[in-house]
Amino acid sequence: MFIEPFDQIFEMMKQSFPESEYREYAQQKRLLANSRYQLLTEKNEQNEVIGFLAGWEFEKFRYIENVAVSPAIRGGGIGRRMMERFIKQSDKPVILEVELPEDELKRRRIGFYTRLGFHLEDYSYVQPALREGQRSFPLRIMSYTNPLTSSEFETVRDILYKEVYGVYDSYTYVLNR
């Protein structure tokens, strides 16, 4: 039975991320029509998606929203290859969000990105809710290849809030969260 690649990707999202870190099916699929949004995939010999990277292309930087590998084959270098492929597609800075380093798994994820050349930023950052009825939550920004200045961070935050999360007044949002 053939399963659409997007359905394979969405199933991997459900297996890999808490519900608060990805959109509902229809919202996620609607992103495919956005020219700034792209999905890179890694497939096996049976043409099944075994990894994906969801990224955004902006004028001043590129943003990695999600990267995941099928739980059965994690640790084999697929995630690293997808990240490196995305980074090499452009000479723009690359941005991603990570959870706070509160436990070993979260620290290991940050270490993975650090080994790829990303810097963990010290700026306060909150991810707006991706789903109706959910709350925003604190994350950290990581940047490749150089750390962000305060001004660069504010630009990144404002673009992410507007383009990715649909929050058009980031100053008020940050103050009222």
pLDDT for 1 equals 45
Q: Which residues contact 85 (CB under 8 A, 6 or more apart)?
A: 40, 53
121-136 pLDDT, tens digit per residue, is: 999 999 999 988 888 9
Closest CA to 99 of 78, 126, 62, 79: 126
25-65 pLDDT, tens digit per residue, is: 999 999 999 999 999 999 999 888 999 999 999 999 999 99
pLDDT for 109 equals 92
Top-confidence range, 74-78, 104-108, 130-134, 149-153: 149-153
Domain range summary for the chain, segments of one domain joined by + = 5-176
Q: 5-176 is classed in which CATH architecture?
A: 3-Layer(aba) Sandwich (3.40)
Compare 56 and 18 and report the one with higher pLDDT: 56
98 φ, ψ (degrees, to nearest 5): -135, 155
Residue 174 confidence (pLDDT) above 80 = no
